[in-house]
Amino acid sequence: MSDGLRGTDWTRSEVQLCVANYFDLLEKQNANEPFIKAHVYRDLAQQTGRTASSIEFKFQNISAVLNEMGLDWLTGLAPLANFQKLLAETINEYEDRVRALATVSEPKGLEDLAGLFVESPPERAIGKTSIPEYMEKLVRKFDPVERDRKNRLLGEAGEEIALEYEKRCLHAIERHDLAKNVRWVSKIEGDGAGYDILSFDGRGEKKFIEVKTTIGSNTTPFFISRNEFDFSKRETERFRLFRVFDFRKSPRAFELQGPLENFVRLSTETFRADFRA
């Protein structure tokens, strides 16, 4: 089909149609139900007069908005920026579906820990990297930082992955003596230690691992408490932040070692209010 609409702005009804169909497919993906994207592109092309490739690009724009919101997106449709304000406004209209997609009530984790890929951390952005105000408001409305922080099931599932990963690494270098002493501190003693997992390097030196887990991408922001931050400053050489991401699709991870401010921009989002001096 030739795109007689090439160069024209997408209408609200066209964008709504694409967003609704994208959410349908994403729900199927999360439920492990089969679908063929090309068939959806073809059907939407017939309904809108756009080409199938234009529909695919619009789907990638939707992936870009969801990525900014710290949500997972359709596999094979990598985020494509430069989207219309109308697209963000339309996704905002689907509040119930967005919140449902953000919910991970029964995290599955990894059936086979060997499938966990630990990669290099993302590079810290240099210079001004602000997003449009309308997009910033949308992200704050569905705040991925607060969402992940409150989801204890998600957090525990990520910590369990990190625990088993550390044991596996130690067994791989035949330090079975150390592997049996890896401890899930936050599970045993609570959250007050400033880290979640006690592990060791190959020489037997302790590692203090704080785990942060998200269903979003590797650049999704995360919350770190004052206690965790202070501990990381005291134990700079032995502190590790283990970030698990893409949890619902195919969990991956990266590790930060050393001062956190070398890797991320730290900002104060909340304040403690006290009537005492």
What is the pLDDT, as a whole number, of residue 84?
Answer: 87
Residue 174 in 3-state DSSP?
coil
Q: Is 187 exposed, middle or buried (0-12, 13-18, 19+ CB in 10 A)?
A: middle
pLDDT band at 105 (very low <50, low <70, confident <90, very high): low
Q: What angle do CA 78, 248, 147 make, to 5 degrees?
A: 95
52-61 long-range Cβ contacts below 8 angstroms, 24+ apart: 52/1, 54/3, 54/5, 54/6, 55/18, 58/10, 58/15, 58/18, 58/87, 59/18, 59/22, 61/87
Q: Which residues have a Cβ under 8 Å from the Cβ of 141 and sit 6 or more positions away?
A: 92
Residue 259: Cβ within 10 Å count: 11
Average pLDDT over the chain, rounded to an integer: 89
Residues 132-157: pLDDT tens digits?
899 999 999 999 999 998 888 899 99
Q: Is the pLDDT of residue 4 over 80?
A: no
| Choice between 23 and 84, residue whose per-residue pLDDT is larger | 23
Residues 212-256: pLDDT tens digits?
999 999 999 999 999 999 999 999 999 999 999 998 888 899 999
pLDDT band at 114 (very low <50, low <70, confident <90, very high): low
Mean pLDDT of 107-115: 65
Sheet arrangement for strand 239-245: 117-119, 252-257, 239-245, 206-213, 197-200, 183-184
**pTM (two decimals):** 0.84
